[in-house]
């Protein structure tokens, strides 16, 4: 038997109702902050992720699904492509490709969709997973660098988690500095690593040379005591970064968004500058990061675009749904009415009546004329419908139907014209 591939899964009803609820709530909250949707392709040129997320990151060096497309002619080399492991790179590529900076103000874009990383699957961690994310990006003259943008994004997230009734989230905040102070910090890290690096794992030995910040991504237990002694980025921020970070905190405090500072938080992607953050949620165990994000002020230029500072985040939708399930959340709507056609030719009558009621906004489940009354009522009960409408030849001729309230068993005769209103009133 062929099964879903390891790390991928089918999402089935009624769980999909919860997914829709999360997505719909996100759309509503984002609309309130005047964000609009962008949809980018699921696969992109491999070089896009190498240049943005970074070659030395786990995502690019170990976890990407890459493949070679065929060239147009047999002699032509194919293009190296990758399934997107995240969506920020695609959004910034689209920003550059479509010259979105020519539009007024900053661009406030959100997206939802599958991402792909070849990680070891476990609860809350999949190889095809779903992100709901947003990016604010634009020319510096439009205010894209302002700490007000950081605070707005974080406030929007707090609002969304509250609207989803996800409780006890923790916002961890850090500043990872900018292009000016990164070289000094990298140098300090290299110096601190030099005497100890030969005791560390092979990955860290390489990172210490190529990209020392990535040492913080190491999960090897033996390396952790060394990593704990390394200098923190907070000691190396220049005045501009310090002021920016202080302003972000001040606005958040004023807006009533609680946070904690964590100067070990560096995030596992290379494009971050200044503000970096994660929201964690205790109920998720090891995979407790429900979302992550931050600023990426140099990313557009790294991809060949104009200066376009930006900030954004991505929510792990799988993890949000898990948190809601753990909290016992249920959403979804049972059918309002089950139409029970009784006898030959009644399927047609039922289809007609069903269509009328659905037009009036009622959720209708249709029965089958081959069922007897007993089986019809049993089926109606299984669909959890509130009412059943019994539709036999007499009813079709008289246009008066038997409306049965399934919980109480009470039954009344209702003319066709009043049926929708009666069902609505009782639901």
Structure tokens at 423: 């069902």
By beta carbon distance, the residue nearest ligand HAM is: 316
User: Scanning residues 104 to 123, which ones bind ligand HAM (CB under 6 A)?
Assistant: 117, 119
The closest alpha carbon to 387, from 334, 332, 338, belongs to 338
Alpha carbon distance 320, 315 (integer Å):
8
| Tokens describing residue 31 | 């609309």
Find the shortest distance in angstroms from Cβ 116 to ligand HAM: 9
Residue 427, helix vs strand vs coil: coil
Q: How far apart are the first and last CA of the chain?
A: 44
Q: Which of 96, 291, 303, 335 binds ligand HAM (CB under 6 A)?
A: 291
Site residues for ligand HAM, 313-352, by CB under 6 A, read: 313-314, 316, 318-319
Joined together, the tokens standing for residue 183 give 């070289």
- Residue 293: CB minimum distance to ligand HAM, A: 4
Specify the stretch interacting with ligand HAM by CB under 6 A; choose among 182-190, 191-199, 306-314, 402-410: 306-314
- How many chain residues are in contact with ligand HAM, going by CB under 6 A? 26
Asked if 301 interacts with ligand HAM (CB under 6 A), we say no
Beta bridge partners of 413: 402
Instruction: Supply the minimum distance, in Å, between the C-beta of residue 418 and ligand HAM.
Output: 50
Comparison of 315 and 385: residue with beta carbon closer to ligand HAM: 315
Give 56 or 369: the residue with its C-beta nearer to ligand HAM: 56
Coarse DSSP helix, strand, coil percentages of the chain, rounded to the nearest 5 percent: 40, 20, 35
The least CB distance from residue 1 to ligand HAM, in Å, is 25
Among residues 184, 139, 115, 161, the alpha carbon closest in space to that of 278 is found at 161
Counting DSSP H helices and E strands in the chain, the numbers are 15, 16
Distances (CA, A) of 201 to 56, 222, 223: 15, 8, 7
Between 132 and 353, name the residue whose CB sits nearer to ligand HAM: 132
Estimate to the nearest angstrom the gap between the alpha carbon of 306 and the chain centroid.
28
Q: Which residue among 131, 144, 234, 349 contacts ligand HAM (CB under 6 A)?
A: 131
Q: Which of 312, 341, 354, 367 binds ligand HAM (CB under 6 A)?
A: 312
Residues of this chain that interact with ligand HAM (CB under 6 A) are 86-88, 117, 119, 124-126, 129, 131, 133, 135, 268-269, 289-294, 312-314, 316, 318-319
């Amino acid at each position: 038997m062929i099964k879903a591939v390891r790390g991928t899964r089918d999402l089935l009803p009624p769980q999909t109702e919860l997914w829709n609820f999360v997505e719909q709530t996100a759309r509503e909250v984002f609309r309130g902050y005047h964000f609009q949707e962008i949809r980018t392709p699921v696969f992109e040129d491999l070089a896009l992720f190498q240049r943005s997320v970074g070659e030395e990151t786990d995502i690019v060096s170990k976890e990407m699904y890459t493949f070679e497309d065929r060239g147009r002619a047999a002699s032509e080399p194919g293009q190296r492509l990758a399934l997107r492991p995240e969506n920020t790179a695609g959004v910034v590529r689209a920003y550059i490709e479509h010259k979105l900076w020519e539009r007024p103000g900053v661009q406030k874009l959100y997206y939802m969709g599958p991402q792909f990383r070849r990680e070891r699957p476990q609860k809350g961690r999949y190889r095809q997973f779903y992100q709901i994310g947003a990016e604010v990006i634009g020319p510096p003259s439009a205010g894209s660098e302002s700490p007000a943008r950081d605070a707005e994004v974080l406030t929007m997230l707090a609002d969304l988690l509250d609207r989803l009734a996800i409780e006890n989230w923790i916002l961890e905040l850090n500043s990872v500095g900018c292009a000016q102070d990164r070289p000094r910090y990298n140098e300090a890290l290299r110096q601190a690593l030099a005497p100890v690096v030969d005791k560390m794992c092979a990955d860290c030995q390489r990172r210490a040379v190529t990209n020392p910040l990535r040492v913080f991504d190491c999960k090897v237990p033996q390396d952790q005591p060394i990593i704990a002694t390394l200098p923190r980025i907070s000691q190396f921020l220049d005045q501009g970064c310090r002021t920016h970070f202080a302003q972000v905190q001040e606005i958040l405090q004023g807006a009533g968004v609680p946070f904690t500072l964590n100067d070990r938080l560096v995030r596992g992607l290379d494009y971050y500058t200044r503000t970096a953050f994660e929201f964690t949620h205790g109920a998720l165990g090891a995979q407790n990061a429900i979302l992550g994000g931050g600023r990426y002020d140099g990313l557009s230029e790294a991809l060949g675009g104009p200066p376009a500072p930006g900030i954004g985040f991505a929510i792990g939708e799988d993890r949000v749904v898990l948190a809601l399930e753990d909290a016992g959340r249920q959403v979804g709507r049972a059918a309002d009415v089950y139409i029970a056609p009784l006898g030959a030719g009644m399927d047609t009558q039922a289809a007609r009546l069903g269509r009328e009621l659905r037009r009036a906004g009622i959720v209708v489940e249709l029965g089958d004329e081959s069922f007897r009354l007993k089986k019809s009522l049993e089926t109606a009960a299984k669909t959890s419908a509130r009412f059943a409408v019994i539709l036999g030849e007499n009813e079709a001729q008289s246009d008066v139907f038997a409306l049965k309230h399934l919980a109480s068993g009470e039954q009344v005769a209702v003319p066709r014209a009043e049926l929708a209103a009666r069902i609505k009133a009782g639901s």
